[in-house]
Amino acid sequence: MSTELRLTPASYIVLGVLEALGEATPYDLKQAVGAGLGYFWSLQHAQLYTEPERLAGAGYLSERREESGRRRRHYKVTAKGRKALLAWLAEPTAKLTELRDLALLKVFFGADPKAMAAAQVPAHEAQLSLYEEMREAGVEGLPDGAQITLEAGIEAERIWAGFWKRVGESN
């Protein structure tokens, strides 16, 4: 049965969110991802339809389809899916993320750093404010992982705002 398939980060996002929600439709996933995770790892909404389908086909999810009306698909993590998720979570990674920052790429190839800074500073500051508000709003309720992730996001935005500010001010 089990069609072999490669599990990508998107796969684990679906598994992880679904595990937290219990049972959900692609639209539920979209809402859940958009509520937080999506800020640092977003997915196209279409992928929240195709990825569960892939996973269900390989036995990581079970699918239940409504009989009437919208015939929505509801997915749930199976034992196999849960096992895969937990195995992935249990394995720490030493992998480093590449920056892949478009603004930096342009500067690397000779774009005017000052002009880039002028565009980047406000953008990073806005994102920083947003994250800080999120922290205020949900101080207690957040699960540990989400809390740590949010802190990471705040630090990152703070750094980049500062970095570009300095670039913009350098003589």
- Site for DNA, rule CB under 7 A: 5-6, 8-11, 25-28, 31, 43-47, 49-51, 53-54, 69-73
> Could you tell me the smallest distance in angstroms from the CB atom of residue 98 to DNA?
10
Separation CA 57–CA 46 (nearest Å): 17
CA 29 to chain centre: 12
Window 8 to 67, contacts with its own copies (CB under 8 A): 9, 12-13, 16, 19, 37, 39-42
**Segments of the chain assigned E as strands:** 23-24, 61-65, 73-77
Of 47, 36, 42, residue with least CA distance to 148: 36
Nearest residue (CB) to its own copies, 27 versus 40: 40
Minimum distance of its own copies from residue 76's CB (angstroms): 17
Residues 90-129 that bind its own copies (CB under 8 A): 90, 92-113, 115-116, 118-120, 122-124, 127
Contact of 13 with 41, CB cutoff 8 Å: yes
Indicate which of its own copies, DNA, none lies near residue 72 (CB less than 5 to 8 Å, by partner kind).
Answer: DNA
Write down the number of H helices and E strands in the chain: 7, 3
Of 40, 39, 61, 41, the closest CA to residue 50 belongs to 61
Contacts with its own copies by CB under 8 A lie at: 9, 12-13, 16, 19, 37, 39-42, 85, 88-90, 92-113, 115-116, 118-120, 122-124, 127, 143-146, 148-149, 151-153, 155-156, 159, 163, 167
